[in-house]
Amino acid sequence: MTLWFVRGLRRGVVTTRYPARPEESSAFLPTPPAFRPRALTPVTAGRLAETCPSGALQVVTGERGGDVLAFDVGRCTACGRCAAEAPHAVTPSGAFELAATTRSVLIKTIPLRGEER
Protein backbone atom coordinates (compact mmCIF):
# COMPACT_ATOMS: atom_id res chain seq x y z
CA MET A 1 0.00 0.00 0.00
CA THR A 2 2.74 2.42 0.97
CA LEU A 3 4.64 1.55 -2.18
CA TRP A 4 1.62 2.46 -4.35
CA PHE A 5 1.14 5.70 -2.43
CA VAL A 6 4.77 6.72 -2.95
CA ARG A 7 4.61 5.72 -6.60
CA GLY A 8 1.45 7.84 -7.04
CA LEU A 9 3.13 10.85 -5.46
CA ARG A 10 6.17 10.43 -7.70
CA ARG A 11 4.16 10.13 -10.93
CA GLY A 12 1.40 12.56 -10.07
CA VAL A 13 -2.29 11.78 -10.06
CA VAL A 14 -3.08 9.21 -12.72
CA THR A 15 -6.78 9.20 -13.41
CA THR A 16 -9.21 9.80 -16.21
CA ARG A 17 -11.65 12.60 -16.97
CA TYR A 18 -14.07 10.26 -18.76
CA PRO A 19 -16.88 10.90 -19.65
CA ALA A 20 -16.26 14.66 -19.57
CA ARG A 21 -13.35 14.10 -21.95
CA PRO A 22 -12.76 11.25 -24.41
CA GLU A 23 -10.84 8.35 -22.96
CA GLU A 24 -7.58 8.00 -24.91
CA SER A 25 -7.17 4.33 -24.14
CA SER A 26 -10.49 3.54 -25.85
CA ALA A 27 -8.65 3.35 -29.17
CA PHE A 28 -6.96 0.19 -27.89
CA LEU A 29 -10.07 -1.54 -26.53
CA PRO A 30 -11.53 -4.55 -28.32
CA THR A 31 -14.96 -3.48 -29.54
CA PRO A 32 -17.97 -5.31 -30.99
CA PRO A 33 -18.09 -5.77 -34.75
CA ALA A 34 -19.61 -3.56 -37.41
CA PHE A 35 -21.07 -5.30 -40.46
CA ARG A 36 -21.09 -4.32 -44.13
CA PRO A 37 -24.50 -5.44 -45.42
CA ARG A 38 -23.38 -5.35 -49.08
CA ALA A 39 -20.63 -7.83 -48.31
CA LEU A 40 -22.90 -10.13 -46.27
CA THR A 41 -24.40 -13.08 -48.14
CA PRO A 42 -26.52 -15.80 -46.54
CA VAL A 43 -23.53 -18.16 -46.74
CA THR A 44 -21.21 -15.65 -45.09
CA ALA A 45 -23.78 -14.85 -42.40
CA GLY A 46 -24.19 -18.56 -41.69
CA ARG A 47 -20.44 -18.96 -41.32
CA LEU A 48 -20.33 -16.00 -38.93
CA ALA A 49 -23.14 -17.46 -36.83
CA GLU A 50 -21.25 -20.77 -36.58
CA THR A 51 -18.03 -18.96 -35.67
CA CYS A 52 -19.46 -16.86 -32.85
CA PRO A 53 -18.73 -18.64 -29.53
CA SER A 54 -21.28 -16.66 -27.50
CA GLY A 55 -24.31 -17.05 -29.77
CA ALA A 56 -24.43 -13.32 -30.48
CA LEU A 57 -24.99 -13.93 -34.20
CA GLN A 58 -27.93 -15.76 -35.75
CA VAL A 59 -29.43 -15.91 -39.20
CA VAL A 60 -33.17 -15.32 -38.78
CA THR A 61 -36.12 -14.42 -40.96
CA GLY A 62 -36.60 -10.66 -41.05
CA GLU A 63 -39.85 -8.73 -40.86
CA ARG A 64 -40.06 -8.59 -44.68
CA GLY A 65 -39.52 -12.29 -45.10
CA GLY A 66 -35.88 -12.44 -46.20
CA ASP A 67 -33.02 -13.67 -44.04
CA VAL A 68 -31.17 -11.14 -41.89
CA LEU A 69 -28.26 -11.41 -39.50
CA ALA A 70 -29.42 -10.81 -35.93
CA PHE A 71 -26.63 -9.37 -33.81
CA ASP A 72 -27.13 -9.38 -30.06
CA VAL A 73 -24.63 -6.83 -28.78
CA GLY A 74 -25.44 -7.87 -25.21
CA ARG A 75 -23.96 -11.33 -25.85
CA CYS A 76 -20.94 -10.15 -27.82
CA THR A 77 -17.61 -10.44 -26.00
CA ALA A 78 -15.72 -8.55 -28.74
CA CYS A 79 -13.53 -11.59 -29.31
CA GLY A 80 -12.93 -10.66 -32.96
CA ARG A 81 -13.52 -14.15 -34.41
CA CYS A 82 -16.21 -12.93 -36.81
CA ALA A 83 -13.91 -10.22 -38.17
CA ALA A 84 -11.16 -12.80 -38.63
CA GLU A 85 -13.60 -15.15 -40.40
CA ALA A 86 -14.86 -12.55 -42.90
CA PRO A 87 -12.67 -9.42 -42.85
CA HIS A 88 -14.31 -8.15 -46.04
CA ALA A 89 -17.69 -8.04 -44.28
CA VAL A 90 -16.86 -7.38 -40.62
CA THR A 91 -14.65 -4.80 -38.93
CA PRO A 92 -14.28 -3.66 -35.31
CA SER A 93 -16.83 -0.91 -34.65
CA GLY A 94 -14.71 1.17 -32.29
CA ALA A 95 -17.88 1.69 -30.22
CA PHE A 96 -17.68 0.87 -26.54
CA GLU A 97 -20.44 2.98 -25.01
CA LEU A 98 -23.08 0.30 -25.30
CA ALA A 99 -25.19 0.64 -22.18
CA ALA A 100 -28.95 0.51 -22.69
CA THR A 101 -31.95 0.48 -20.38
CA THR A 102 -33.94 -1.85 -22.62
CA ARG A 103 -32.61 -5.27 -23.60
CA SER A 104 -34.19 -5.21 -27.05
CA VAL A 105 -32.18 -2.12 -28.02
CA LEU A 106 -29.06 -4.27 -28.00
CA ILE A 107 -30.37 -6.61 -30.71
CA LYS A 108 -29.62 -5.33 -34.22
CA THR A 109 -30.76 -6.79 -37.49
CA ILE A 110 -28.39 -6.51 -40.42
CA PRO A 111 -29.72 -7.07 -43.94
CA LEU A 112 -27.87 -9.51 -46.18
CA ARG A 113 -27.35 -7.51 -49.37
CA GLY A 114 -24.33 -9.31 -50.74
CA GLU A 115 -24.62 -11.53 -53.80
CA GLU A 116 -23.25 -15.06 -53.97
CA ARG A 117 -20.45 -15.47 -56.50
89 lines the binding site for ligand SF4 (CB under 6 A): no
Binding mask 49-68 for ligand SF4 (x = CB under 6 A): --xx-x-xx-----------
Pairing status of strand 57-61 against strand 67-72: antiparallel
What does the buried/exposed string (b/e) look like for 54-77 if buried means 16 or more CB atoms within 10 Å of the residue's CB? Answer: eebbbbeeeeeeebbbbbbbebbe
Candidates 76, 86, 110, 112; binder of ligand SF4 (CB under 6 A) is 76
Binding mask 18-47 for ligand SF4 (x = CB under 6 A): --------------xx--------------
Candidates 82, 86, 89, 112; binder of ligand SF4 (CB under 6 A) is 82
Candidates 42, 62, 74, 80; binder of ligand SF4 (CB under 6 A) is 80
Whose Cβ is closer to ligand SF4: residue 80's or residue 111's?
A: 80
For residues 100 and 16, give the distance between their C-alpha atoms in angstroms, rounded to a whole number.
Answer: 23
Whose Cβ is closer to ligand SF4: residue 41's or residue 76's?
A: 76
Q: Give the C-alpha distances (Å, rounded to integers) separating 33 from 3, 99, 106.
A: 40, 16, 13
